[in-house]
Chain A
């Protein structure tokens, strides 16, 4: 059960967000409403280009909604804040700082903890994500997977109430990705914070999620929300359970509909709608 003291409930109320170019206006989110429950790991999944990153940017405070409200614990988002941190696509570690200095950056920027406290936690976190031997390496000296883990540690040391993961494991090979998911789940199950994880991979989404939000194609809304009732702590064997396969089939079906719509809309391919995964 979720402790009522937990903060970090995110509410989207009729949010509309459009991007203007000189001639056209592209609506990315259209009267989009949903709730991200506090203390849970919510995974947002949808066809590529459906505005998932925009949702992350709105919560983080990098963008503002054109209409509607984004509320955190009842208050509208005013701008970027250390309560809401992002692990970026690809990674945005500061390349001129070592792994250790990257992690220390947040605590030292605001001085919410002493250097000694920060040092202790940084070492602790980096060891937990398997970077204990790489403290003084620069990001360029690390592999893709290591960079993602360092970025995770850099955000988590600040104990954000909402952790935003923007396709953080994109571009990693299958093996590394699996390992990253396990590292990540271990950290989430310890941290009890609110997590929003954006991905376009169904397996990843179901394996990680407490709750799955499926988006429609652009202009995006919530198409469906699913509670993923797989047991925790999750281990890889869950991927062979009957319930997992059921949930996967259901998600695929919903996503397939959107994918067909998307390809019809863009006119790039003409897929026969009757074919596909429906049985």
Chain B
């Protein structure tokens, strides 16, 4: 080996040391390992939790997973989440804009919104049976409901917290009312609108799982509940993990869309 290749390999190693194989990474990996260790110890050495599967058992269950079945369930839940979320956005966003932008709309809508909002979405489950006969509609309604308020609230809040100097400046430049909304207010409120969407998609997953556990109409929530009834607990935990992954994926999705709309925010 010549001296120069030796040099480049050592440089490469330096790069690796700097970016990947450093103490920060080691500590992060340790965090995960410690969690799994604590879980194992708790299950192995306490009488209380001995029925709970160990991480190893859950990992083993991964290989018994019927891919066709699990992907069907994932797909079902995803469709429900997306339908509910998009409905929430379609209805919640204009209402949020109206409340934030127009004083009259604020007086007309805000008290009603404020009255209903404190009710936890799950408390609506019994009533949805009266709204819709179709079970699929019931589930989508509940997911929609979960998404609705975070979107309304954050859109409204984002608009009312716009720095007054920005619309004032735009007013002096002679912009009209529509231009003010589209070119000033909405771009300025965009960061908080996306925060609202991120909160909303999280609650949407919460609602879809709760609804599916009750409705017995397929989906990840149902899948987890089914394995609970047949006492296959490694599968239950695996299902929980998959639900978590799906939620995280949606959250990242919102971030990606957000950074596309707000290029000015991720320039560093």
Contact = CB atoms under 8 A, between A and B. Distances in A.
Given A138-B264, A138-B267, A141-B267, A109 B170 contact: yes
B136 interface: no
Interface size class of A (residues with CB under 8 A): 20 to 34
Interface in A130-164: 138-141, 158
Contacts of A94: 166, 169-170, 184, 187-188
Given A92-B165, A94-B184, A80 B264 contact: no
Interface in B2-36: none
Contacts of A205: none
B172 interface: yes
A60 B262 contact: no
Interface in A85-127: 85-86, 88, 92, 94-97, 105-106, 109-110
Give the most central of B165, B187, B188: most A CB within 10 Å.
Answer: B165
Contact of A96 (B163, B173, B179, B190): B190
Contacts of A80: 168, 171-172
A242 B163 CA distance: 44
Nearest to A83: B172
A245 to B, nearest CB: 37
B187 to A, nearest CB: 4
A84 B174 CA distance: 11
A137 to B, nearest CB: 8
Nearest to A158: B173
Contacts of A62: 168, 171
Contacts of A73: none
Given A96-B264, A140-B267, A60 B172 contact: yes
A105 B190 CA distance: 19
Give the most central of A60, A95, A105, A109: most B CB within 10 Å.
Answer: A109
A97 B187 CA distance: 10
A109 B174 contact: yes
Nearest to B186: A96
A82 interface: yes
Given A84-B172, A140-B264, 5 more contacts: A82-B172, A82-B173, A88-B165, A109-B174, A138-B264
